[in-house]
C-alpha cells in the first residue's frame, strides 16, 4: 500500500468530548490546525473552544449529527481539512465512511476500509485468524433457527451467542442449558438487528472465569507492524470495561510473548495500518483465544502510553501522513505500572442508571504521575444523548501496589457535583482484596463485597466537599459557540474561574 501523497495540513476531529480534546492537543503539538464538529448539545464543549475552527453539524442525537457521513465530509470540505480523525465510537470503525474519505481525497486517520471490513465481521475475522494461526475460541459460525440446536450440541454448554456485526457488549447472551437457547437466540438476534442492522449470530464456547487481555498493535504504510504490549481489561460490567491496567498482573513473560506475536500476526493478516487492538480471552490455564479486533484507538490507550512512553495519537498522525513508525519493536519495553478508571455519569446504587445535569462544582486530582483526560468544567451540561463517560483518570507508579495507592488517593480527591457519578464505586474496586491481589477475572464485580470507605478516604471527602461548597459560589458560564473560530483566545475569554470578576 502506497503512503499518502500529502502531509496533514488540517485535521477535522469527527468526535466530541475528551477524545476530541486528546486529538486536538496532539495535532497542535505537531503544528497542525484543527477543526471541531459539534451538535446542538455540544455547542459549549471544550473541544469546540480548543480547536482552531468549529463547524455545527446538526441536532443533538448522534444519528442526526456525528453519525451522518455527508455532514462530516461537508464540514471537512468547507473548512479545508484534508484529514479526519474519527476518535473512537461513532464512525471510527465504519468501513463505508473510511472509503468515502478516501474517495474524497481525505486522509482517514485509521486503518484502510478493507481492514476495518475484514475485522468488523466477527465470523469472517474468526476464519481469517484461524488461517493466520491465531487461536480462536471453539464455536459454530452463522447459526439460524434450523441449525441452532445441532450447533449448540457440538459446541457444548455453557456457550455464548454473539452478534457477528457486534461490539460494545450488544447482541451477546450466555446460555447454560438447551432450554434457554432459543429464547436467548431470538433476543440476541433482535438486539443485533436493532443495534447494527445485521441480525447474524454465531456460537462460541463460554470460557469460565476468563481474563480479558488486549494487545495494542501499530502498522505503517512501509510494511512495519509492531505490538505495544498488553492491557488487562477484566474489570467489566455487562461487557463494558470499568478499570484497565498495564502490564497485566495475570500475564507471564512467556504468555505475553506468545500473545503479542499472535496479535502482530492478526494485524498482518489483514494488511493493518495505524493503531488497533487485538483482544483475547485467557482461561485459568493461561491458554488464550482471539476475541475480536478493534480497528481504532482504544479508550484505554493512555495506560499504554504511560508504561511505554509512546504517544499513540502522535504516532497515528505520523503514520497517516505517510511517515514510518518512529520506533522499532526492539526499541520499546514496559516500565512501571499504570491503571485507568472510567469516570461516568451514572448511579451504581440505582442499577447504573445514567445521570444528567449541570456540573456546578468540580475538584480535580493532581500530583506526580496523575493524568486526567476529560472535557469537564463547571457549568457543563451533561445531556442524555451520548455515552456516560465523563473522564479517564490514569496513574503511573514504579510498582502495581504503588499505582493502586496513587489511584485511591486520586479518586479520594476528585469530586463532581450537580449529578451522580461512579467515583465512590471506583474507589471500592481499588480497595477490593481480589482486585489488589491481581488474580481477578471478568466476574470480579459480581463477587465484589461492599466495603466501607477507609478513614483517609472519608477525611479527604469531607475536605473536598467543603471546597466545592464555597469554591463555585458564582459559576462560570461559557459563551455561545455559534460561528466561533477563535481557538485558544476564545477559550481563555469564555470563563471566569473561582468567582473572579
Give the per-residue pLDDT at 420: 95
Residues 99, 116: Cα–Cα separation, whole Å: 10
Which of 22, 11, 82 is CA-nearest to residue 47?
22
Residue 233 maps to which CATH number? 3.30.470.20
Which of 123, 65, 128, 72 is CA-nearest to residue 100?
72
Q: Could you give the residue ranges of the DSSP H alpha helices within 2-158?
A: 17-29, 46-50, 69-79, 95-103, 113-120, 122-131, 148-155
**Is residue 48 a contact partner of residue 42, using CB atoms and an 8 Å limit?**
yes
| Domain boundary, last residue among 170, 186, 205 | 205
DSSP per-residue codes, 2-14: PPPSS--S-EEE-
pLDDT in tens, the chain (501 residues): 566 656 899 999 999 999 999 999 999 999 999 999 999 999 999 999 999 999 999 999 999 999 999 999 999 999 999 999 999 999 999 999 999 999 999 999 999 999 999 998 888 888 899 999 999 988 888 889 999 999 999 999 999 998 888 666 778 899 999 999 999 999 999 998 888 888 889 999 998 899 999 999 999 999 999 999 999 999 999 888 999 999 999 999 999 999 999 999 999 999 999 999 999 999 999 999 999 999 999 999 999 999 999 999 999 999 999 999 999 999 999 999 999 999 999 998 888 899 999 999 999 999 999 999 999 999 999 999 999 999 999 999 999 999 999 999 999 999 999 999 999 999 999 999 999 999 999 999 999 854 445 555 556 556 655 665 555 444 444 444 444 444 444 433 333 333 332
- In this structure, the answer to whether residues 86 and 168 fall within a common structural domain is no
- Give the other-Cβ count within 10 Å of 151's Cβ: 19
- In this structure, the answer to whether residues 191 and 102 fall within a common structural domain is no
- In this structure, the answer to whether residues 228 and 312 fall within a common structural domain is yes
Give the per-residue pLDDT at 457: 56
Give the per-residue pLDDT at 5: 58
Give the per-residue pLDDT at 499: 34
Residues 327, 27: Cα–Cα separation, whole Å: 19
- In this structure, the answer to whether residues 361 and 391 fall within a common structural domain is yes
CA distances from 142 to 35, 163, 201, 203, 305 (A): 42, 9, 6, 8, 38
Residues 96, 100: Cα–Cα separation, whole Å: 6
Residue 272 forms part of a structural domain: yes
| Domain boundary, last residue among 109, 126, 155 | 109
Residue 150 maps to which CATH number? 3.30.1490.20
Residue 73 maps to which CATH number? 3.40.50.20
- In this structure, the answer to whether residues 336 and 256 fall within a common structural domain is yes
CA distances from 410 to 72, 362, 369, 394, 424 (A): 37, 14, 10, 9, 12
H or E segment to which residue 429 belongs: helix 423-431
- In this structure, the answer to whether residues 379 and 321 fall within a common structural domain is yes
Residue 227 forms part of a structural domain: yes
What are residue 85's phi and psi, to 5 degrees? -105, 120
Find the distance separating the first CA and the last CA of the chain, reported in whole Å. Answer: 57
Residue 459 forms part of a structural domain: yes
Which of 172, 178, 174, 170 is CA-nearest to residue 154?
178
**Is residue 325 a contact partner of residue 315, using CB atoms and an 8 Å limit?**
yes
| Contacts (Cβ under 8 Å, ≥6 apart) of 214 | 230, 231, 233, 277, 278, 279, 280, 294, 298
Burial class (CB in 10 A: 0-12, 13-18, 19+), 208: exposed
Give the per-residue pLDDT at 461: 58
Residue 2 forms part of a structural domain: no
Give the per-residue pLDDT at 468: 59
- Give the other-Cβ count within 10 Å of 331's Cβ: 11
Domain tally, the chain: 3
Give the per-residue pLDDT at 448: 87
Residues 66, 14: Cα–Cα separation, whole Å: 7
- In this structure, the answer to whether residues 294 and 399 fall within a common structural domain is yes
Spell out a b/e string for 422-438, using b for 16 or more CB atoms within 10 Å of the CB, else e. Answer: bbebbbbbbbbebbbee
**Is residue 166 a contact partner of residue 239, using CB atoms and an 8 Å limit?**
no
- In this structure, the answer to whether residues 160 and 239 fall within a common structural domain is no
Residue 218 forms part of a structural domain: yes
- In this structure, the answer to whether residues 416 and 290 fall within a common structural domain is yes
Residue 6 forms part of a structural domain: no
- In this structure, the answer to whether residues 319 and 421 fall within a common structural domain is yes
What are residue 448's phi and psi, to 5 degrees? -65, 125
Residue 119 forms part of a structural domain: no
Task: Provide the residue range defining the domain that includes 159.
Answer: 138-205
Tell me which residues are annotated as active site.
296
- In this structure, the answer to whether residues 218 and 185 fall within a common structural domain is no
Four-residue CA torsion sign, 233, 271, 25, 381: negative
Say what the pTM is.
Answer: 0.86
The bridge status of strand 139-143 relative to strand 107-108 is unpaired
**Is residue 322 a contact partner of residue 5, using CB atoms and an 8 Å limit?**
yes
Residue 245 forms part of a structural domain: yes
Residues 335, 345: Cα–Cα separation, whole Å: 32
Residues 203, 123: Cα–Cα separation, whole Å: 10
- In this structure, the answer to whether residues 408 and 373 fall within a common structural domain is yes
| Domain boundary, last residue among 205, 231, 247 | 205
How does pLDDT run across 432-457, given as a tens digit for each residue?
A: 999 999 999 999 999 985 444 555 55
Amino acid at each position: 500500500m502506497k503512503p499518502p501523497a500529502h502531509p496533514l495540513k488540517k485535521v477535522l476531529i469527527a468526535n466530541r468530548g475528551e477524545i476530541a480534546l486528546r486529538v486536538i492537543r496532539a495535532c497542535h503539538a505537531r503544528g497542525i490546525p484543527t477543526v471541531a464538529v459539534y451538535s446542538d448539545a455540544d455547542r459549549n464543549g471544550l473541544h469546540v473552544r480548543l480547536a482552531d475552527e468549529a463547524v455545527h453539524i446538526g441536532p443533538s442525537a448522534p444519528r442526526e449529527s456525528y453519525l451522518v457521513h455527508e455532514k462530516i465530509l461537508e464540514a471537512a470540505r468547507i473548512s479545508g481539512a484534508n484529514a479526519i480523525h474519527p476518535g473512537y465510537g461513532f464512525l471510527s470503525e465504519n468501513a463505508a465512511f473510511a472509503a468515502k474519505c478516501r474517495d474524497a481525497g481525505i486522509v482517514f486517520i485509521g486503518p484502510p476500509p478493507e481492514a476495518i471490513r475484514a475485522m468488523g465481521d466477527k465470523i469472517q475475522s474468526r476464519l481469517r485468524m484461524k488461517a493466520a494461526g491465531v487461536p480462536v475460541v471453539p464455536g459454530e459460525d452463522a447459526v439460524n433457527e434450523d441449525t441452532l440446536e445441532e450447533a449448540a450440541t457440538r459446541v457444548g454448554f455453557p456457550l455464548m451467542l454473539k452478534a457477528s456485526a457486534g461490539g460494545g457488549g450488544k447482541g451477546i447472551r450466555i446460555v447454560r442449558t438447551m432450554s434457554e437457547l432459543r429464547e436467548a437466540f431470538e433476543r440476541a438476534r433482535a438486539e443485533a438487528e436493532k443495534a447494527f442492522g445485521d441480525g447474524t449470530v454465531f456460537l462460541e464456547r463460554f470460557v469460565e472465569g476468563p481474563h480479558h487481555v488486549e494487545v495494542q498493535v501499530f502498522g505503517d504504510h512501509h510494511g512495519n507492524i509492531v505490538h505495544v504490549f498488553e492491557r488487562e481489561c477484566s474489570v467489566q460490567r455487562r461487557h463494558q470495561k470499568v478499570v484497565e491496567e498495564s502490564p497485566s498482573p495475570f500475564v507471564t513473560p512467556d504468555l505475553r510473548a506468545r500473545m503479542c506475536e499472535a496479535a502482530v500476526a492478526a494485524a498482518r493478516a489483514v494488511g493493518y495500518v495505524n493503531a488497533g487492538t487485538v483482544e483475547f480471552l485467557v482461561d485459568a490455564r493461561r491458554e488464550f483465544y482471539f476475541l475480536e479486533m478493534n480497528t481504532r484507538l482504544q479508550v484505554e490507550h493512555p495506560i499504554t502510553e504511560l508504561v511505554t512512553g509512546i504517544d499513540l495519537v502522535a504516532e497515528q498522525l505520523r503514520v497517516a501522513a505517510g511517515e514510518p513508525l518512529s520506533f522499532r519493536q526492539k526499541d520499546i519495553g514496559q516500565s512501571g505500572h499504570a491503571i485507568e478508571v472510567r469516570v461516568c455519569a451514572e448511579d451504581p446504587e440505582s442499577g447504573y442508571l445514567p445521570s444528567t445535569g449541570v456540573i456546578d462544582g468540580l475538584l480535580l486530582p493532581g500530583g506526580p504521575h496523575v493524568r486526567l483526560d476529560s472535557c469537564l468544567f463547571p457549568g457543563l451540561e451533561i445531556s442524555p444523548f451520548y455515552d456516560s463517560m465523563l473522564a479517564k483518570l490514569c496513574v503511573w507508579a514504579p510498582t502495581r501496589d504503588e499505582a493502586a495507592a496513587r489511584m485511591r488517593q486520586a479518586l479520594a480527591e476528585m469530586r463532581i457535583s450537580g449529578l451522580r457519578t461512579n467515583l465512590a464505586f471506583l474507589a471500592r474496586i481499588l480497595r477490593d482484596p481480589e482486585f489488589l491481589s491481581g488474580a481477578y477475572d471478568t466476574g470480579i464485580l459480581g463477587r465484589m463485597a461492599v466495603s466501607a470507605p477507609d478513614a483517609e478516604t472519608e477525611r479527604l471527602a469531607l475536605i473536598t466537599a467543603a471546597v466545592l461548597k464555597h469554591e463555585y459560589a458564582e459559576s462560570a458560564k461559557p459563551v455561545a459557540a455559534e460561528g466561533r473560530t477563535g481557538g485558544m483566545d476564545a477559550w481563555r475569554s469564555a470563563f471566569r474561574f473561582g468567582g473572579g470578576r
